[in-house]
Amino acid sequence: MTDSLSIIAPFGLDDLFGMAVRRNPARASAEIYRRRVADKRYRERWPRVTVIHE
């Protein structure tokens, strides 16, 4: 048995390691994204995270 880990990240891992949250335009409109960010309170939970509104 071999231990292994497969990562599928078509857009890379830069945002994950850079602690950035940004909208995926294929999944949510700008309005839904803004509402979701407010509901999840990312900045309160993780003060060092950067929320990107594009």
Q: What is residue 4's predicted lDDT score, i.e. its pLDDT?
A: 94
Segment 6-12 shows an average pLDDT of: 92
One-letter-per-residue 3-state SS of the chain:
CCCCCCCCCCCCCHHHHCCEEECCCCCCCHHHHHHHHHHHCHHHHCCCCEEECC
Q: What is the pLDDT of residue 2?
A: 81
Q: What is the pLDDT of residues 14-35, one digit of tens each?
A: 999 999 999 998 999 999 999 9
pLDDT tens, 41-52? 999 999 999 999
Task: Enter the pTM of the model.
Answer: 0.72
Measured in degrees and rounded to the nearest 5, phi and psi for residue 24 equal -95, 105
pLDDT at 33: 95
